[in-house]
Amino acid sequence: MKTKIRIVVLLFAVLAVAGCYQERPSENPPIHVNPDMDNQPRYRPQSESKFFADDATMRTPVPGTVALGELDDDIEFFTGKDERGEFIEGLPDTVKLDMPLMLRGQERFNI
């Protein structure tokens, strides 16, 4: 019985070592069953690309595009100053003073 167990353990050890052994890296690329977006061409910024008619890889933004969080069209609201650069007195016209605003301010202050 002990001999059979030793043979089984030895067999598993040999298979484990043989499974980990690689003579050299494979020249063949790995097989992707569902490649999706794994292998996409990568371009360096401002490099040339034959994909677009203008041969540029970088696309110009659509006119009027504003970066996320950068739309500061209400000067009084975002700066607290008017067009002349002077501090405003009171709240801007776009802000309605009500109880939810007061509670929000109190919660922010208490933090």
pTM (2 d.p.): 0.34
pLDDT of amino acid 108 = 95
- pLDDT tens for residues 18-30? 666 666 677 777 7
CB-CB contact of 31 with 38 (8 Å): no
Average pLDDT, integer, range 25-52: 78
99 to each of 66, 77, 106, how far by Cα in Å? 32, 19, 10
Mean pLDDT of the chain: 83
